[in-house]
């Protein structure tokens, strides 16, 4: 079974631009969660989607948004990029039931200049 | 505010030696406690998931313990190998039954030959 895939793997943007990241979960998994990882803050939860609906949301500004498609693939969008948005963005998938093991993708490393 | 604190921040040990990593959490209500291993530049990989009724759980050379009364968990690594060099992250859900997770900042473990 293929693992979680994320595209692109690396991205360089400038302040004010917007960016869209993509995540394809493991086949059959219906829940996709997004996380931001920075050296100073560690891993922080952004949001979780299940069956095309946002089920949980972390404490990030509205510039961070996401969506999930009927095939469970998910996208995350960040508008009006700031320097502080430079981070590793990880997505993780589970079949959808709580307390299951999460499977993480390799991440997208975003650098904002 | 739910928090997960880990110690030590970093650790260096000789190959073949054992080590123990600590995690203190203040998450309520408690659902489960997870340990992840994250290699540099890669997504985290789940090692163990423990519910409040479990005191010990093993995954090969990794053994996690949980004391729900003191809200402490530890991860013991036996006969360390060079491939154990990674960050080890302790994780707890914010709310019972969903995927909104609170992450510790991790322990950076380095195994030297």
Q: What is the mean pLDDT of chain B?
A: 90
Q: Tell me the mean pLDDT in the region B4-16.
A: 96
Which residues make beta-bridge pairs with A50?
Answer: A31, A53
Q: Do A98 and B93 touch (CB under 8 A)?
A: yes
Residue in the block written with tokens 């073949």: B16
Asked if B23 contacts B68 with a C-beta cutoff of 8 angstroms, the reply is: no
pLDDT of B36 over the 90 cut: yes
Size of interface A-B (CB pairs under 8 A): 61
pLDDT tens column, B71-109: 999 999 999 999 999 999 999 877 655 567 788 989 999
Cβ neighbours of B104 (radius 10 Å): 26
Q: Which of A23-37, A75-89, B24-38, B47-61 has the lowest average pLDDT?
A: B24-38
Q: Tell me the mean pLDDT in the region B21-46.
A: 89
Task: Choose among B22, B26, B28: nearest CA to B106.
Answer: B22
Cβ neighbours of B112 (radius 10 Å): 11
pLDDT of B3 over the 90 cut: no
Q: Do B101 and A98 touch (CB under 8 A)?
A: no
> A84 by DSSP, 3-state: which?
helix
Which residues, other chains included, contact A59 with Cβ-Cβ below 8 Å and sequence gap of 6+?
A: none
Q: Which residues of A touch B42 (CB under 8 A)?
A: 106-107
Q: Do A101 and B97 touch (CB under 8 A)?
A: no
Q: Tell me the mean pLDDT in the region B3-14.
A: 95
Q: Which residues of B touch A104 (CB under 8 A)?
A: 43-45
Most A CBs within 10 A among B2, B23, B99, B100, hence the mutation to make, goes to B99
Contact B51/A at CB under 8 A: yes
Q: What are the mean pLDDT values of chain A's consecutive 10-residue runs (113 residues total)?
A: 91 97 95 91 89 90 96 96 96 79 93 97
pLDDT of B28 over the 60 cut: yes
Asked if B39 contacts B31 with a C-beta cutoff of 8 angstroms, the reply is: no
Most B CBs within 10 A among A44, A45, A54, A57, hence the mutation to make, goes to A45
Measuring CA to CA, how many Å separate B111 from each of B6, B55, B64, B65, B81? 19, 27, 19, 22, 7
The predicted structure's pLDDT at residue B97: 52
The predicted structure's pLDDT at residue A40: 79
Q: Which of residues 68-107 of A touch B (CB under 8 A)?
A: 90, 92, 94, 98-99, 101-107
Residue in the block written with tokens 């829940």: A31
The predicted structure's pLDDT at residue B98: 55
């Amino acid at each position: 079974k293929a693992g979680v895939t994320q595209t692109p793997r690396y991205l360089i943007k400038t302040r004010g631009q917007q960016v869209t990241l993509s995540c394809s979960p493991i086949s059959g998994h219906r829940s996709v969660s997004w996380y931001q990882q920075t050296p100073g803050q560690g891993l922080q939860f952004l949001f979780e989607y299940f069956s095309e609906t946002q089920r949980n949301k972390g404490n990030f500004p509205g510039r961070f948004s996401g969506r999930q498609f009927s095939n469970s693939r998910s996208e995350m969008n960040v508008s009006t990029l700031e320097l502080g948005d430079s981070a590793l963005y990880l997505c993780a998938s589970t079949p959808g039931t709580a307390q299951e093991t999460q499977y993480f993708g390799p991440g997208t490393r975003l650098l904002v200049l | 505010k739910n928090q997960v604190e880990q110690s030590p921040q970093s650790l260096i040990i000789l190959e073949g030696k054992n080590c123990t990593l600590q995690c203190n959490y203040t998450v309520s209500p408690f659902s489960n406690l997870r340990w992840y291993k994250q290699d540099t530049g890669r997504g985290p990989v789940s090692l163990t998931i423990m519910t409040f009724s479990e005191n010990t759980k093993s995954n090969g050379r990794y053994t996690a313990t949980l004391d729900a009364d003191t809200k402490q968990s530890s991860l013991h690594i036996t006969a360390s190998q060079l491939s154990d060099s990674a960050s080890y992250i302790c994780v707890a859900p914010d709310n019972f039954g969903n995927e909104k997770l609170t992450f510790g900042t991790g322990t950076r473990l380095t195994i030297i030959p």
